């Protein structure tokens, strides 16, 4: 592997030569895929799904209103709107439009993409609106009046940056942003936390906390829970380790601000959640005699006073892992997974905060997914749940813990499921590990091997769970294809240990798991190597690069979207330094050896036969640099290997900033797969 890189010039994101090269590659791909006779009708059917008026408008409860952001054919960039629960129960609710992003983009001549809003509790009268230019992670922030439905002329405004901001009170916020030299970490995220008062320049705002240059970021937030108002600050040391502090303003420190920080003394890799009188700690390593993956409950004040008496709310086993938790006013909703199928319980603390009890919340069909969409812990025990499955469109449920439940919304079928089945199998990796995977498609005992798409991610403790996919259904399943999800190591399907088994130099375990699933699919007669495709994005794009260069004989086509591919320079590109804890540090000789071995970009060889590959990225992706995909495409072309490349000019790390772009990208992927696998 040579250290020379003749394609460094493609890392110049907006450089004229690089963009000219991108335009040429895009034209080549369009000539092949967009010109295919099946492309236009497929794209139209996919766009129909994305724009459908009978989609579920998922909401967030803020006081008396349910808030929703909505895109369709008439609202390409979308509208932020709200309604009441009474209206929401209707088939066609009356919505109050708060902000029309299309109109704003037209008026200001910017390709604004909605990135959310943070309303001010408990009045919910103002919001901090986040807007991205064409889908990037960096945003501008503007204060918005929910009563007048207008931006506040002299309100809080922050220029474009990877900003963290949140309300403290009516006239004060915590903010971390780019205020000049020294204000950002090496990863490009806020290094400082400031208390910013209305009407003062942000540069003169009060500094309350600083992280180190090598940390990922600093953060601060205010908890306005009545009776338990608290301020917290902290720093992310890397992607998985952090420190959290209670911030008090009692003058005891003697500093200019009079702020004192008290460390919440848990392991750096643990997750903390302070709510009311409770402190919940999710373990990523053993602590206090409890295994990795456990959830522990402490009394908040007692813990800070040194009393570490706890109750165990969840203990994992070989097949069961914690998926998440959500508070209501009096209860904790606990989400767990057993062999990647969901289970929901309600946990209730006793009067003194101890003696927790538990009951099941809802029955969930096998091989289905259930997720807590929203709760309002300040006010009530209301909850919203989304229930879906691979062949089961989403239904939105609302209930009160201990009371009745109702189905508020039911999504219609979006694709023909006749003859399709769902099954879960287990492959055996070379080291003997059982790796679960889901198969969605026709009954292959009757049809024989057929075109199959295998999807994976395998990183950052991200779990791939059952869900209804209308684009996948129309683009792939309806045409006779089979879809497979591999729950490989590196993910979170079996908790932190499953993730940590593929960290750093152990990353090949994830690659081996994915290859084992591919081989198992062939052994079961579901497909053959020439009819098996693979797809993944971001870290999953690294996985695709590994399959291309390590196991090309297993696949007939590969798709890598917004991929990470040059493992020797990722830390120098955009947010890459924040992932060193996942992969290793290329500047550390001890890590560089395994990173070069992992790096798909450096493993491409002239004398190997590779399956056709489609590489997709975005010029506006300010998380994973488009240079990864650009350079890999250029190297494959140089050596005469079959490769197509498409770079969307907008869309950020999602690859698409609106439904038109999303439909186009999906149609490109499925057209490519159909041409090579069917």
State the catalytic residues. Answer: 538, 653
How far does Cα 350 stand from its chain's mean position? 35
Q: What is the largest CA-CA distance in the chain?
A: 77
* N-to-C CA span, the chain: 36
Is the CB of residue 277 less than 8 Å from the CB of residue 301?
A: yes
ω before 122 within 30° of 0 (cis)? yes
How far does Cα 401 stand from its chain's mean position? 28
Is the CB of residue 611 less than 8 Å from the CB of residue 558?
A: yes
Q: How many CB atoms lie within 10 A of CB 219?
A: 21
* Cα separations in angstroms, 281 against 3, 287, 487: 45, 10, 26
Is the CB of residue 427 less than 8 Å from the CB of residue 435?
A: yes
Q: How many CB atoms lie within 10 A of CB 323?
A: 22
Q: What is the 3-state secondary structure (H, E, C) of 13-31?
A: CCCHHHHHHHHHHHHHHHH
The residue among 334, 315, 364 whose CA lies nearest residue 273 is 334
Residues 6+ away with beta carbon under 8 Å from 502:
458, 459, 488, 489, 490, 508, 509, 510
Q: What is the 3-state secondary structure (H, E, C) of 125-166?
A: CEEEEEEEECCCCCEEEEEEECCCCEECCCCCEEEEECCEEE
The full DSSP string for 602-651 is: HH--TTS----EEEEEETT-SSS-THHHHHHHHHHHHTT--EEEEEESS-
């Amino acid at each position: 592997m040579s250290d020379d890189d003749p394609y460094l010039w493609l890392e110049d994101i907006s450089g004229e030569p690089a963009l000219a090269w991108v335009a040429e590659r895009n034209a080549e791909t369009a000539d092949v895929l967009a010109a295919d006779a099946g492309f236009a009708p497929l794209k139209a059917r996919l766009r129909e799904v994305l724009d459908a008026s009978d989609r579920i408008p998922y909401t967030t409860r803020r006081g008396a209103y349910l808030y929703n952001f909505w895109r369709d054919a008439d609202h390409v960039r979308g509208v932020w709107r709200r309604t009441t629960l009474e209206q929401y129960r209707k088939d066609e609710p009356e919505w109050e439009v708060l902000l029309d992003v299309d109109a704003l983009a037209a008026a200001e001549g910017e390709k604004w993409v909605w990135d959310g809003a943070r309303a001010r509790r408990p009045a919910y009268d103002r919001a901090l609106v986040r807007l991205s230019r064409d889908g990037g992670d960096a945003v501008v922030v503007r204060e918005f009046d929910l009563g007048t439905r207008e931006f506040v002329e002299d309100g809080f405004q922050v220029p474009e940056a990877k900003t963290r901001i949140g309300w403290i009170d009516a006239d004060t916020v915590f903010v971390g942003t780019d205020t000049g030299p020294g204000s950002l970490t090496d990863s490009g995220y806020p290094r400082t936390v400031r208390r910013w008062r209305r009407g003062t320049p942000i540069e003169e705002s009060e500094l309350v906390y600083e992280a180190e240059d090598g940390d990922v970021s600093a953060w601060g937030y205010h908890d306005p829970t009545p009776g338990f108002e608290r301020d917290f600050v902290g720093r992310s040391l890397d992607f998985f380790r952090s420190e959290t502090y209670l911030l008090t303003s009692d003058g005891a420190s003697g500093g200019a601000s009079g702020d004192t920080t008290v460390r919440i003394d848990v392991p750096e890799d643990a997750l903390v959640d302070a709510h009311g009188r409770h402190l919940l700690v999710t373990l990523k390593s053993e602590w206090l005699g409890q295994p990795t993956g456990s959830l522990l409950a402490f009394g908040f004040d007692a813990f800070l006073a040194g009393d570490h008496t706890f109750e165990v709310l969840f203990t994992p086993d070989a097949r069961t892992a914690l998926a998440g938790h959500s508070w209501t006013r009096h209860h904790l909703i606990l989400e767990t997974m057993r062999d990647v199928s969901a289970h929901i319980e309600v946990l209730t603390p006793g009067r003194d905060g101890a003696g927790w009890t538990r009951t099941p919340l809802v029955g969930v069909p096998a091989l289905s997914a259930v997720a807590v969409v929203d709760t309002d812990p300040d006010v009530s025990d209301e909850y919203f749940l989304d229930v879906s499955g691979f062949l089961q469109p989403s239904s939105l449920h609302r209930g009160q813990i201990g009371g009745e439940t109702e189905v508020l919304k039911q999504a219609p079928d979006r694709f023909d499921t006749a003859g399709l089945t769902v099954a879960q199998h287990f492959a055996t990796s070379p080291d003997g590990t059982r790796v679960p995977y889901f198969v969605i498609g026709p009954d292959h005992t009757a049809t024989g091997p057929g075109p199959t798409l295998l999807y994976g991610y395998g990183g950052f403790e991200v779990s791939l769970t059952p869900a209804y996919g209308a684009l996948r259904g129309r683009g792939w399943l309806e045409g006779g294809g089979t879809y497979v999800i591999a729950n490989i190591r590196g993910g979170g399907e079996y908790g932190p240990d499953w993730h940590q088994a593929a960290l750093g130099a152990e990353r090949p375990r994830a690659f081996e798991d994915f290859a084992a699933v591919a081989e198992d699919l062939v052994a079961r007669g579901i497909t053959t190597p020439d009819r098996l495709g693979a797809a993944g994005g971001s870290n999953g794009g690294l996985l695709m690069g590994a399959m291309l260069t390590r196991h090309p004989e297993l696949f007939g086509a590969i798709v890598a979207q917004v991929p990470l591919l040059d493992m020797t320079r990722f830390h120098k590109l955009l947010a890459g330094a924040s992932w060193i804890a996942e992969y290793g540090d290329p500047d550390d000789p001890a890590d560089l050896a395994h990173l070069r071995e992992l790096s798909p970009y450096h493993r491409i060889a002239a004398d190997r036969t590779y399956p056709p590959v489609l590489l997709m990225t975005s010029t506006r992706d300010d998380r994973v640099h488009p240079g990864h995909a650009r350079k890999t495409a250029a190297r494959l072309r140089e050596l005469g290997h079959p490769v197509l490349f498409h770079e969307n000019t907008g869309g950020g790390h999602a690859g698409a900033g609106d439904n038109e772009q999303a439909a186009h990208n999906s149609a490109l992927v499925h057209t490519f797969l159909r041409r090579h696998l069917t």
